[in-house]
Structure formats: structure tokens, C-alpha cells
Structure 1
Amino acid sequence: MMEDTFSCTTSGRNIYTINREKKHLFLTHPSLIPHLHPKYTGQVDTADYYARKASYLKEHGYLDGLGHQYDGVITADMVKEELANLKQLVFEVTDACNLRCKYCGYGELYSDFDERRKKMMGFESAKRIIDFLQEIWAESRQRFTNKVLFISFYGGEPLMNMPFIRQVVDYIESLDIKNRKIQYSMTTNAMLLDRCMDYLAEKKFNLLISLDGNEWNNSYRVTPGGENSFRKNVAHVDLLREKYPEYFDTYVNFNAVLHNRNTVDEIFHFIKDRYGKKPHVAPLNTTGIREDKKEEFEKMYRNKVADLEQSEDYEVLVDEMFMDVPAYSEACIFIHQYNGNVYQSYNDLFGKQISHNFIPTGGCIPFARKMFVTVNGKILACERIGQQYGLGTIEADHSIRLSCEEIARLYNQYYDKLRAQCRVCYRSQSCTRCIFTIDRLYALEKVRCPSFEGKEAFAAYVSRNLSFLEEHPKAYERIMEVVLA
């Protein structure tokens, strides 16, 4: 039997009581604990303040659960609504690349992608998907006016197919897309940046440049001939900053991969000192690793949390990197889920807390964040997931095969494998697990969710986040003002 309410202790020796379903969370005096325990059956001593307080909390439902269910399903209408409100359309411009990064998600360590054949996406495929979405946008109800829609270019190395990018931008600019402000974005290794920077600056591309730190830090990012790409990379980035300083300050950011040849500290200080930017640092992808490469992967992998905690500049990094620090991002989710003051609409202010029937896990509804179109014509919900999870295709004749009904059926089939675990998971109300990061979800009848938490693990999660907020007293205000406002 799951407990709706229980208490935990922080590293500062403070006790908090949490109702995981009603999102009640309060500082608790030790003398109140015996009276809050579900097995406590003693008579209420009216002279005992804490007994009276516990009685009050019980009487007003602070300690009761809501009996949430996890039998919710995705419907075809939900999928269509997300298409109508799409935030980002991502094209895999090419599967060719001018680098051979050792840890690449499309490289020798991984197996969950289509064969790379140095293909270039043709404009007609992109035009057809844009036209397809335009029809949906024109016909369907939208939740916004003048929303930003990102048109993004991904690879491989997208700058290797620059004619395609120019054609797509020209076509987008020729259309009258209602209620949307178009912005362009791209992830690049900067090896061809010197040839393309004039155009990128003119069109105000949001540019994410891959760079793992100094020359040694960057030594997994090599050319086909095995040469470190560092010097050419930074030479082109330096040129971009010199030639277009305002564009660089506003639109250029950096992405780094953490591995056994760098640290968060080294990455952050190199990029911050050289370019005045705070990089996003991501660990190696842990999904889809080939069986015969797991030992090699483990040698290369570096845990971001552990690496940060070992840094002599930990507090400085926590303050500077903010939401790119796992402790900060986890605390943000915790505050959002459990502070009891999050309302989706004004109606929620007057509503009574009731039981809900949730969709399992913490993943998103298909296309709620983006649509990813591969160079082979597959349509996916995201570029970060295995390409075996295609939801539709652009056919050889450029027709679109995308059924909202079939997508809903497929997702619900995946969710059915996880519902039983979600029902007894203490973390179910703050789950962030994407179903597509569960190994072999598509192939196995029964799967184990890596994020499942029993009472003890969840209590540790609560304690960890409250301890972080106690140790960083300005963090709560900063999260509320910068992230959740």
C-alpha cells in the first residue's frame, strides 16, 4: 500500500512532510511526526498543541491522497492539436559529416539509427512537409497568436548542404504563415563556418556550435584523417565574432559533450573566458549503445553530477551555469511539481483538488515540442531518440504518410507496458522519463522503467532537493523569477 503522506529529513536536519498527490509540503516539528504517522491511533490530547495540529491537518484533508490513476491515453485529436501548435520543425539536412567524433550518436558506439549514406535532403521533401503543416495550421484551432516557430537544420553537418538551407529559407519567406514568427536555428561543428557566416548572420540564425573545451578536451572531435578539429573550429568562431560581433553576442551559443578527456570546469572556463558564453554541457547519450561497445563507452563516460561535485569551483559553477547544473534543473522541476502553487489557468484557482487519470511517464505528447524529419524521409517526434521510433514518412513521390490515429495507437501500446509501474511509483507526479530512452521499448513485451522509485528512493529525492534549496537560499527566488514566472 502506497503512502500518500510521509516525512523526510534534509542535510540541515530539518524535517519536511510531503503529500505527493496533493502537492502539500510543509516544515514539520519533530513533535508533530508521531501524530502524522498513518498508524498512530492514540487519543488526541487537546492540551497537546501538536496533537491538535495533526487533527486539524487530517480533518481538512492535508494528509489524504487523491487516488490518481494512470490509465490515460493519447488520442488522435491530441496529436493533431500538437501539430496545429508545433513549436519547432527540424530537418536532418544531411547524414554526411566532415568529422568523425568518437562518441557521435550516429557513430560506432551506437546502433539505433538508420545507415548513414552521405545523403543530402532534397528541397521537395522539405517543401511537402511544410505545405502539409500549413494545411493543418490553416484548418485547426491554435492556442496562441504570433508564436515563434523555429525552423531548424541538423545533421550530420548541415553546412554541407547549404543550397538546401537557402531554398528552405527562401520558401518559408515566400509564404504567408499566420500567427507565427519564424526564426531559424542550426547545430554546427563550425568547420565550414567561414564560407557561410555572411548568410547565417544576415538571416539571424540561432547558432549552436559544438566545442568540447580546449585542444585536449576536443581531441575526440577529429577529421576523417584523424586530425583534431580544434584549431580550425576556433579559428572560424574567432572570425565570426570579429566580423559580426553583435550577431555573435545575441545569436551564438555553445554545446559541449562531457567525457573522460574533459571536465565541466574545463569546458565552462575555456568557453566563458574565450567567448564570454556559458556553454550547455551534456553527458554522453546512454541509450542505444552497441553490446560490443559498452566497455569502451564506460571508459569514455563521465557523470555530470559527480564531476561537478568534485570541482573546486563547485559553488561558482552552480551560480554561473544555473539551469545547466543538474541540481538546479532538478530543483526547478521539484518546485514546479510540489510547491502547491502552480495553476494552468484561472479556473484552477477556484477548483477543488480531484483525482486525475494521467498518461504514464513524463514524456511529451507526440509533436508537443517538435517534429524531426530525417534525410531518409522518416518523421519522428524528436532528433534525440532512436530512428526506429518513426511516426510517419515522406514517400518517394513526396506524399506524406502520417496518421494521427496510428500514432496514438502506437504510443498507447508503449504506455501499456509501463502503466503498472507508474501506478506504484512514488515519483509518478514528477516524472521526466521519456519513454524512448527506455532500451528496446519497441521490441520487449515487458520493460523496466529506469526512473521507477519506491518510497525510500522518493524520500531521498525530496530530501536532496530541499537540501539544495536550504544550502542555496537564493535558488528558490531565482528559479521562480527566471524560470517559472
Structure 2
Amino acid sequence: MEKPFIHLLSSINGFYFYDVNRNEIVNVDKDVYDFLIKLLNDEEVIPNKEVKNKVSELKENNYLSSNTIKEIKHPESDKLEYHLDRHIDQITLQVTQNCNLRCSYCAYSKFDNLSQRNRSNKDMSIETAKKAVDFLLQHSSDSDKVVISFYGGEPLLKFNFIKEVISYAQENFIGKELSFALTTNATLLTEEIMEYSINNNLDIMISLDGPEEIHDLNRRFADGTGSFMKIVENLQKLKNKYGDELKNILRINTVMDPKNDLDKMNTIFENEIFKGLPVSSVIVENFFSNEQTVYSNKFLEKYFYQIFIGILDLIGAVKDLNTYPLIASVINAIYTFEENMTVAKGLPEVGAPGGPCVPGKRRLFVAVDGEFFPCEKVSEVSKVMNIGNLDNGFEVKKADDLLNIGRLTPVECKKCWAFRKCNICARKLEKEGKLSGDEKLSMCGDVRASVEEDLKKFILLKECRTIYKI
């Protein structure tokens, strides 16, 4: 029997394999599981009649195929020029590279780091901004909804500039659903800004890392003082005036430093000012830094316990569970993963690992000088990540290279069981000015471990519903 393209998993309740071709988790008896282990490990094994019949039945139902991708090519490759010419959904304007805070984990504050730009006083000119709006208009013909987002630095340092850009866009975008977004540290938020945001469909994401003693560890003004109390003062004024209407405009993003106490971080949401506001969270990332992210054991224990609580809440196992807002995005990701476990007939002849978005289509980042990058998370000093500019348009070949990072490691990708679920992004693959296959391969172990964890959570959901009937 040929070696099937599967990955084996088990729980306290049963034995399973993930069928890569079918994108499906399959429950099997232990004798079949043991046979498949030996088969995958190239051990000599002769199944007994009972196992042979069970395996034959699985194969008759199109499981245990050894089929793999024959050619690595992203399915959107042939449509890339179309997407960039007519189907851009969002642009993010880098309003300024200046900021009134000096956050300790900010990539732009690491002056000893050559892999990212440094903080500067550069601002985007209104001519560049209008040119970017025109570019979006010309290249979004087939997008029903478009978003213009404002980013920094701290974009509210240039609020009048933002208003001028929004007015210009509103005058020129006819027949499309147009909305705006802004990411801010909230120290400059005023009633005037909120009133304008409510009236002009401007969604505001504010950065808040926890209560004062945690938030102020990292997010400080240039003079070293903490920013928490100023944010609270601003939001209290807005809460007094707008009440629950804030829920439609404001969102909170928390950067969780895993050296800190998760329980303490979450106490911020007991404050009436923040109750009910949508929350997302990320773990602090030091990719553009020489520092390593340090996880305390207490943080990890509490983090995974809260995920467990969140899963119980997701399946409705226990009434009135108090789940942490900071874990909401993790639980949403589990739900999204479950939705994406759609059974397939098999792998196509031509395909690519999951992970890369279509560079420039989803949220084209326009730097202060009009240079193009796939999004705001990549290095702005990278020639690899620079995919064009306002004067000359897109460099489609460079965008295609970012889309097709699977071509860097075709042999390994074709045989990887995590092929469908891979989340490697090109932004982490640059080495000496080029996309590196070695850098990509160095990430594969962590990716497979992450995908396996996601599959185990999926199995837990299935077992809760079938075995425990909840």
C-alpha cells in the first residue's frame, strides 16, 4: 500500500487522521491507527484481515489517497494583474512617521535595527494623499466596497489633513460603499474627532495594553511619563457624551506582553469606560528587533486555560461563563478554522500553500513618499517588499514573488501535511535582499506545531458535540 498523505492525531477519546486531500478529520479504530503509524514510519507491516477490510473501506470512500500537488503556483497568480488593476479593496495611508509616544516594543523606535525604518518627522503631503485616493479609484472598478485607512506614527497628529483626504474621497467615490479607518494611541482623541468620525463612517482602533501599571510599562510619552491616564481622561469625556454609541465607532487592540500577568491585563475591561467595546489582541512581536519575546509560565497557564473556557462558551457547555475579552480573537480564530474545514474532493494538480494574501489587493500600504508595500506590517526599507509606487504603479513580478513563496521550497511544500493550513508570510523570509528558502524552512516546524494545535482544538469541538452531547 502506498503511503497516504495524512497526519495522525489522537485524544483521550479516540484516534484520528487528518486527510490532506479531503481536508477532513477522520475517526478510526486503534488497530487502524496503529497500522497507519507503522505505514507512515516505513515499518514493514502486514495488516490482519479486519484491519485490511477497514482500510479498504476507507479507500473506497476516497480517503487515504497518496495524491500530492504536482506544481506549486498560487491560484490567484493568473489573476494578479486583474486584481491590482481593477480589484483593490483598501489602501492604508502612512499619514506621518512621527509619533508623540515612544513605545518600548515599537519597531520604529529600535535605532540599532537596520531591518526597519526609524521614527522620523516625515509627513505625507496632501498631493501624495490625493494621488493615492485617485489611484484607489482607478484600480477598484470591480470592488463594491473600498476602505481608506490612516496609519502612522500617530495619525491624529494630522487630523486636519485626514479630514481633507476624507472630503476629497467622498467627492470622488460615487456608487461605491466607502468607509474609513484609523489606528491611534488615543492620547489625542477629542469630542471634535469623535463627532467627525460618527458623521463620516470613520472606524477608530485604539491601542490599550491593560490597566495603568501594565499599559505604562511600554506605552510612554517622549518624556518617559505613562500615557494611560490621558487615554482614560479622553475616553471618559467621550463616554459621557456618546454613551453606547461608542461601540459602533471605537475598537480596542491590545498588545499582550507575555511577561505580564494575563489576569491583570484583563481587569481593564471591568472599567465602565471600556465595557462593551469590541476587543482584539496580539502577542507582542519583536520581529524587527534583536530582542526575544519572553513568555512567563504563569502567562501561558492562564492563556491556555482561558482558551479552554472560551471553547466551553463557544459550544454552550456552561451558562454565564465569564470569558476574557482578550481571548475573543483566539476563540474567533477557532470558529473560523472550523468553518474552513470544508471537505474537498482532493488536492488539485496545481496549487500553493496557504498563507500569502494577494499583495496590494487586500490593504495596499502607501508610505509617506508614495512607495507601495503589501501592508503596514512589512519592512519599509526592504526592496523585496516594495511592490511599486504612485508614479509608476505596481511591479507585478515582485508582487507575484511574494504571492508564490511556495516556489522557494517546492519539494518540501508538496509533501508537507500542513500544506493547506500553512500561514507563512513573505515578510519574514528576506535574507540579504532576497526571499530565502532557508528562512522559510526554518519556520516550518513551528507552523506544523501550530496547525496540529488547531486540529486538536477542532477535534475537541467535535468530541464535545458528539461524545459529550454538548
Question: Residue 81 of structure 1 is aligned with which of 80, 83, 92?
Answer: 83
Tell me the alpha carbon deviations over residues 308-343 of structure 1, each in whole angstroms, 9 at most, x when there is no partner: 4366x66545643589457635534643454516xx
Tell me the alpha carbon deviations over residues 171-196 of structure 1, each in whole angstroms, 9 at most, x when there is no partner: 11111433x21111111111111252
Alpha-carbon distance in 2 for matches of 1:456, 1:118: 42
Which position in structure 1 is the counterpart of 2:359?
366
Which position in structure 2 is the counterpart of 1:22?
22
Q: Which moved more, 1:35-44 or 1:364-373?
A: 35-44
In structure 2, do the counterparts of structure 1 residues 42 and 410 end up closer, same or farther at CA, with 3 Å as the change threshold?
closer
Q: Is the 8 A contact 1:21 1:429 kept in 2?
A: no
Tell me the alpha carbon deviations over residues 428-451 of structure 1, each in whole angstroms, 9 at most, x when there is no partner: 111112121235374465423244
Question: Residue 407 of structure 1 is aligned with which of 394, 398, 402?
Answer: 398
Alpha-carbon distance in 1 for matches of 2:70, 2:410: 9
Structure 1: unaligned runs, 5 residues or longer: 342-351, 395-399, 479-485
Question: Residue 309 of structure 1 is aligned with which of 288, 293, 303?
Answer: 303
Could you say what the CA RMSD is over the residues aligned between the two structures, in angstroms?
Answer: 3.5
**What is the CA-CA distance between 1:408 and the residue it aligns to?**
4.1
Question: Residue 433 of structure 1 is aligned with which of 412, 424, 439?
Answer: 424
Query: What are the equivalent positions in structure 2 for 1:80-119 lying under 5 Å apart?
Result: 80-108=82-110, 110-119=113-122
Structure-1-length-normalised TM-score: 0.80
Q: Is the 8 A contact 1:20 1:338 kept in 2?
A: no
**What is the CA-CA distance between 1:282 and the residue it aligns to?**
1.2
In structure 2, do the counterparts of structure 1 residues 255 and 327 end up closer, same or farther at CA, with 3 Å as the change threshold?
closer
The amino acid across from 2:29 in the alignment is: H
In structure 2, do the counterparts of structure 1 residues 91 and 462 end up closer, same or farther at CA, with 3 Å as the change threshold?
closer
**What is the CA-CA distance between 1:233 and the residue it aligns to?**
0.8
Question: Residue 220 of structure 2 is aligned with which of 219, 222, 225?
Answer: 222
**Do residues 357 (structure 1) and 350 (structure 2) align?**
yes
Alpha-carbon distance in 1 for matches of 2:329, 2:431: 26
Q: Which moved more, 1:271-280 or 1:121-130?
A: 271-280
Structure-2-length-normalised TM-score: 0.82
Alpha-carbon distance in 2 for matches of 1:340, 1:176: 40
Which position in structure 2 is the counterpart of 1:335?
338
Which position in structure 1 is the counterpart of 2:319?
none
In structure 2, do the counterparts of structure 1 residues 35 and 210 end up closer, same or farther at CA, with 3 Å as the change threshold?
closer
Alpha-carbon distance in 2 for matches of 1:184, 1:303: 40
Which position in structure 1 is the counterpart of 2:195?
198
In structure 2, do the counterparts of structure 1 residues 20 and 258 end up closer, same or farther at CA, with 3 Å as the change threshold?
same
Which position in structure 1 is the counterpart of 2:54?
53
Q: Is the 8 A contact 1:361 1:435 kept in 2?
A: no
Q: Is the 8 A contact 1:361 1:431 kept in 2?
A: yes
Alpha-carbon distance in 1 for matches of 2:206, 2:448: 41
In structure 2, do the counterparts of structure 1 residues 325 and 62 end up closer, same or farther at CA, with 3 Å as the change threshold?
same
The amino acid across from 2:429 in the alignment is: I
Q: Is the 8 A contact 1:212 1:257 kept in 2?
A: yes
Which position in structure 1 is the counterpart of 2:413?
422
**What is the CA-CA distance between 1:224 and the residue it aligns to?**
0.8
**What is the CA-CA distance between 1:221 and the residue it aligns to?**
0.9
The amino acid across from 2:132 in the alignment is: I
Alpha-carbon distance in 1 for matches of 2:451, 2:235: 46
The amino acid across from 2:30 in the alignment is: P
Which position in structure 2 is the counterpart of 1:386?
379
Q: Is the 8 A contact 1:125 1:377 kept in 2?
A: yes
**Do residues 130 (structure 1) and 133 (structure 2) align?**
yes
Tell me the alpha carbon deviations over residues 358-389 of structure 1, each in whole angstroms, 9 at most, x when there is no partner: 23451112123211111132211110111111
**Do residues 234 (structure 1) and 236 (structure 2) align?**
no
Which position in structure 1 is the counterpart of 2:318?
none
In structure 2, do the counterparts of structure 1 residues 428 and 377 end up closer, same or farther at CA, with 3 Å as the change threshold?
same
Which position in structure 2 is the counterpart of 1:281?
281
**What is the CA-CA distance between 1:209 and the residue it aligns to?**
0.9
Which position in structure 2 is the counterpart of 1:121?
124
Alpha-carbon distance in 2 for matches of 1:280, 1:303: 23
Alpha-carbon distance in 2 for matches of 1:310, 1:424: 31
**What is the CA-CA distance between 1:391 and the residue it aligns to?**
0.9
Alpha-carbon distance in 1 for matches of 2:238, 2:428: 36
The amino acid across from 1:56 in the alignment is: E
Q: Which moved more, 1:112-121 or 1:321-330?
A: 321-330
Q: Which moved more, 1:229-238 or 1:275-284?
A: 275-284
Alpha-carbon distance in 1 for matches of 2:447, 2:387: 36
Tell me the alpha carbon deviations over residues 369-419 of structure 1, each in whole angstroms, 9 at most, x when there is no partner: 21111113221111011111111123xxxxx22235333454378543233
**What is the CA-CA distance between 1:55 and the residue it aligns to?**
1.7
**Partner-residue secondary structure (3-state), 1:218:** helix
Tell me the alpha carbon deviations over residues 64-107 of structure 1, each in whole angstroms, 9 at most, x when there is no partner: 13321342156474143255222221111111111111111211
Q: Is the 8 A contact 1:8 1:15 kept in 2?
A: yes
Structure 2: unaligned runs, 5 residues or longer: 314-322
The amino acid across from 2:160 in the alignment is: P
Alpha-carbon distance in 2 for matches of 1:461, 1:261: 22
In structure 2, do the counterparts of structure 1 residues 118 and 435 end up closer, same or farther at CA, with 3 Å as the change threshold?
same
